[in-house]
Amino acid sequence: MTMEAIATDLATRAKASAYTPEQSLLVAVLLSTAGGFLDAFTWLSLGGVFANSQTGNVVFLGMYAALGMWHKAAHHIPPIVAFLAGASVAIRIRAPLVCLVIEVASLATVALLLPLGFPDSLATAAISFGVAMQTTSFRQVERWKYLSVTVTGNLLRALEQVTSTTDPEAARGARNLLAVCLMFLLGAAAGGFMTVHLAASSLVMPIGLLMSALWLGCRHRNRS
């Protein structure tokens, strides 16, 4: 490796270390894995609705309403309303780590109460509320914008980086965004497998992922 290459590598690492843990790739992949898991969990165990993908909920809401299937359409309203409520709270408090604590609490509540007959609509709303707080509070991986609860926008941003001819860090940005997308996919796969075999107990995995991200943020705060 030439001296110029070494200098470039050191400069890149220095820039990466300048970001807070909330903006790190590690936290982004932890949150995205949890995001994919929760969409699979709610779809399989809570009546075919999404916790994260409000686009999907809106599509099903419109489709079922147009077909006069009002009962099925109504299932997709609580997560949409809860998502908007969670996002509104997160915007007001502007405290990412507090938002993660609330999300962990909501998931733990669902995991404990769902086997006892907790209504599916309330469980979905609780998860969507916490997910909205997460995605509203964590919007940046290093210097690139991303969403931890969907892949469409992240894929488009990755493609923009791949085709960029002016940004010297475009390749790094593309790798980060594609890594986030891949982890969302793996989270969905894990969510499908674990939900089928463990039901509500499977929520221990996204809770663990979120607590890991929370620990990274708290450790940074304590050092500062």
Q: H/E element holding 140?
A: strand 140-141
Mark residue 142 as left, alpha or beta (left: phi above 0; alpha: psi -120 to 50; beta: remaining).
left
Contacts of 7 (CB under 8 A, 6+ apart): none
CB 163 within 8 A of CB 119: no
Question: What domain range includes position 203?
Answer: 22-218
121 falls within a domain = yes
Contacts of 49 (CB under 8 A, 6+ apart): 42, 43, 57, 60, 75, 76, 78, 79, 124
- What pLDDT score does 14 carry? 47
Provide the greatest CA pair distance for the chain.
68
Strand partners, 140: 145
Beta-carbon contacts of 169 under 8 Å, excluding residues fewer than 6 positions away, are 12, 15, 143
Q: Which residues pair with 214 in a beta bridge?
A: none
Residue 4 lies in a domain: no
Q: What is the predicted pLDDT for the residue at 1? A: 52
pLDDT at position 21 is 81
Q: Which pTM does this prediction carry?
A: 0.89
Is residue 184 domain-resident? yes
Give the C-alpha separation, 131 to 89, whole Å: 12
In this prediction, the residues of the chain whose per-residue pLDDT falls under 50 are 7, 10-11, 14, 16
pLDDT of residue 73: 95
Which CATH number is 117's domain given? 1.20.1250
On whether residue 99 sits in a domain, the answer given is yes
pLDDT for 224: 60
Contact 194, 205 (CB under 8 A): yes
Which residue's structure tokens are 């607590």?
211
Give a yes or no: residue 224 inside a domain: no
Residue 7 lies in a domain: no
The dihedral over CA atoms of 109, 111, 116, 118, expressed in degrees to the nearest 10, equals: 60
8 is a domain residue: no
Whether 179 is covered by a domain: the verdict is yes
Domain count, the chain: 1
Q: Report helix, strand or coil for 173.
A: helix
Q: What is the pLDDT of residue 13?
A: 52
